[in-house]
């Protein structure tokens, strides 16, 4: 891709701001996109929580077996009955929290961001970031190309 073919000043080549989209709208959609990205990070942490909690429960089961093998059946029985396989919140294991988050908040957030982008910018993603790239890169310098460069 060359550095030519810009739409408005500040647009990244190949990612022109649609006609009628104000700078304020680009900034607002950028803020909405950033909020969605933070939600994506939170979702990743939720999956980490889910996996770590599952790993802990399996390790707890192993510890219970070692307590039994060491002759501590009463302690092992108490821990096994009360903690192994226990819900992490009322009535739910972590997979259920993940499913509720995905089906509810996360899906609704993604849909609102997509719909706002469709309505206000013709569906073009990351306009704010594209403008930032165009502003910050050194046009014409290797490693600062506007887009992917075909191998020579």
pLDDT in tens, 36-73: 999 999 999 999 999 999 999 999 999 999 999 999 99
Q: What is the CA radius of gyration of the chain?
A: 25
Residue 101 placed within a domain: yes
Mean pLDDT of 90-102: 98
Nearest to 57 by CA among 102, 15, 98, 88: 88
6 band by pLDDT with thresholds 50, 70 and 90: very low
Residue 12 lies inside a defined structural domain of this protein? no
Would 1 be classed as within a structural domain? Answer: no
Domain annotation covers residue 87: yes
Nearest to 120 by CA among 5, 37, 18, 45: 18
**Would you say residue 4 has pLDDT above 60?**
no
- Whether 43 maps to a domain, the answer reads yes
Total domain count, the chain: 1
The verdict on pTM exceeding 0.85 is no
Say if 83 falls within a structural domain. yes
Domain ranges, residue 80? 23-136
Q: How far is residue 1 from each of residues 5, 11, 21, 28, measured CA to CA in Å?
A: 10, 14, 24, 28
Instruction: Report d(CA 50, CA 81) in Å as an integer.
Output: 21
Residue 146 belongs to some domain of the structure: no
The answer, yes or no, to whether residue 5 has pLDDT greater than 60, is no
In a domain, 33, yes or no: yes
Q: What pLDDT was estimated at residue 33?
A: 97
């Amino acid at each position: 891709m060359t550095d030519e073919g810009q739409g408005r000043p500040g647009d990244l080549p190949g990612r022109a701001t649609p006609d009628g989209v104000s700078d304020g709208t680009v900034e607002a959609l950028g803020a909405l996109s950033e909020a969605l990205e933070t939600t994506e990070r939170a979702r990743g942490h939720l999956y980490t929580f889910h996996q770590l909690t599952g790993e802990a429960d399996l390790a707890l089961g192993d510890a219970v077996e070692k307590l039994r093998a060491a002759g501590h059946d009463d302690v092992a029985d108490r821990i096994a009955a009360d903690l192994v396989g226990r819900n992490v919140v009322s009535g739910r294991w972590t997979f259920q929290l993940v499913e509720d988050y995905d089906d509810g908040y996360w899906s609704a957030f993604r849909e609102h961001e997509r719909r706002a982008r469709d309505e206000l910018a013709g569906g073009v993603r990351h306009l704010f970031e594209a403008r930032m790239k165009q502003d910050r890169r050194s046009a014409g310098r290797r490693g600062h190309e506007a887009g992917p460069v075909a191998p020579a």
